[in-house]
Structure 1
Amino acid sequence: MPMPIADLEAELKAAFPDADIQIDDLAGDGDHYRARIVSKAFAGLSRVKQHQLVYAALKGKVGGELHALALETQAPA
């Protein structure tokens, strides 16, 4: 079952309230997204740790409701 883009954005905003978030539906099917997230929460963390924070925030939805999520994460400049 696809995850609506609004639901994905709401989950990410709840986890990273300071973040600038941009989400693109890559296939037009509500199942393959790219998310660009810029948040202070990522400061000083490796890319792997940043992505782990995002996956944790989505509470197991990646691989279930959300088939694929390409991530671009960074701390503000």
Structure 2
Amino acid sequence: MAIAIHELEKIIKQSFPGADVEINDLVGDDDHYHLKITSKCFLGKTKIEQHKMVYKALEGQSIHALQLETNTED
């Protein structure tokens, strides 16, 4: 079952407090997203480590396609 954009945002904001989160539903089906997260939590982590952190936060959620962009705050 797909996940609504507001639920996705809630999960990410709980997992990465204070993060700047941008979510775009790419095709309007709650199943294909572009997710951009900017967070201090990613400081000192490689892109692979950052993405693993996000996927762990989303564990158990059903998302067919996810374009993921992570950044650290300066």
TM-score bucket of the superposed structures, by smaller chain:
over 0.9
Matches within 5 A, 1:26-41: 26-41=26-41
Is 1:67 the counterpart of 2:50? The answer is no
Is 1:22 the counterpart of 2:19? The answer is no
Cα-to-partner distance string for 1:18-43 (whole Å, 9 max, x where unaligned): 10000000011110001100000000
What stretches of structure 1 move > 2 A for 4+ residues in a row?
none
Unaligned runs of 5+ in 1: none
Aligned identity (percent) is 47
How far apart are residue 69 of structure 1 and its match?
Answer: 1.1
Equivalent residue letter for 1:23: I
How far apart are residue 60 of structure 1 and its match?
Answer: 3.0
Equivalent residue letter for 1:21: V
Q: Give RMSD over aligned pairs.
A: 0.8
TM-score normalised by structure 1 residue count: 0.91
The equivalent residue for 2:10 is 10
Count of aligned positions: 74
TM-score normalised by structure 2 residue count: 0.95
